[in-house]
Amino acid sequence: MTINAVIFDFAGTLFRLVQDTTAWTADDGTPLDEATCEQLIHRLTNPDGAAIGLHGAYLDAFQQRDLDPALHRKAYLEVLRQFGITEPDVAAAIYESTIDVESWLPYPDTGKALKAVNANGIAVGVLSNIAWDIRPAFTTRGFDAAVDEFVLSYEAGMIKPDPAVFRLMLQRLGVTAAQTLMVGDSPAADGAATALGCAFAAVDPAPLTDRPDGLLTALREHDIR
């Protein structure tokens, strides 16, 4: 198989949410302790966990969160409320910090991986189920020069694992599925690209320090160095 394009997922693949929780407080202004912050981060970043306890309009908003920024905000403010953060200004501050590009840090080999693919003359796409613009996370680090196309679910109106969103990326990159490698941390969402004929390489959405070369290893396994 000749790889002419590599599509990367964003969260848990190229970047990871690394929160500065020093400003996080309870409703009364008391700083949240480390254990509580860890529990809250897990709730906010684990899709299955975040949906627990949501009903009616809030569950609907959660299920459509990556298609509409307003629904994303509505769903996660309710998650925070159920966690006990009920003061609107406090909840809003915590929510905004999770979608701030400064809170998303690249894995140690992200830049090297993007540049390696680009240097081989292979097209690069970033395909993400996301409700906010992640491009600044790339531009501030100079990674954008190695990315040919971004397809973001809230802009495209489609989310993985819908085959249509993969087809859109393939069309924009000008390649066929048989020429394409999808790299991501979710076999269910990212791995759905295989239904179209793409190859798939899974990476572990581990903490940054625990995954120093996961992307480069995945690329080497498909003869991209």
Q: How far, in Å, CA of 182 to CA of 166, rounded?
A: 10
Query: Is 164:67 a contact under the CB 8 Å cutoff?
Result: no
Supply the pLDDT for residue 40. Answer: 87
| Helix extents (H) in the chain | 34-45, 47-51, 56-63, 69-83, 88-98, 110-119, 135-139, 153-156, 163-173, 214-220
Supply the pLDDT for residue 180. Answer: 98
**Cis peptide bond N-terminal to 161, omega within 30:** yes
Both tokens assigned to 174: 């000008």
Classify domain 5-15+106-220 at the CATH superfamily level: HAD superfamily/HAD-like (3.40.50.1000)
C-alpha pair distances (Å), 47 with each of 66, 87, 160, 196: 11, 23, 14, 25
Q: What mean pLDDT do residues 156-161 have?
A: 97
Supply the pLDDT for residue 45. Answer: 80
Both tokens assigned to 93: 């501050």
Residue 85 has pLDDT above 80, yes or no: yes
Supply the pLDDT for residue 20. Answer: 85
Q: What is the pTM of this model?
A: 0.93
Q: What is the pLDDT of residues 96-114, one digit of tens each?
A: 999 999 999 999 999 999 9
**Domain boundaries defined on the chain:** 5-15+106-220, 17-103
Supply the pLDDT for residue 197. Answer: 98
State the pLDDT confidence band at 43, using cuts at 50, 70 and 90.
Answer: confident
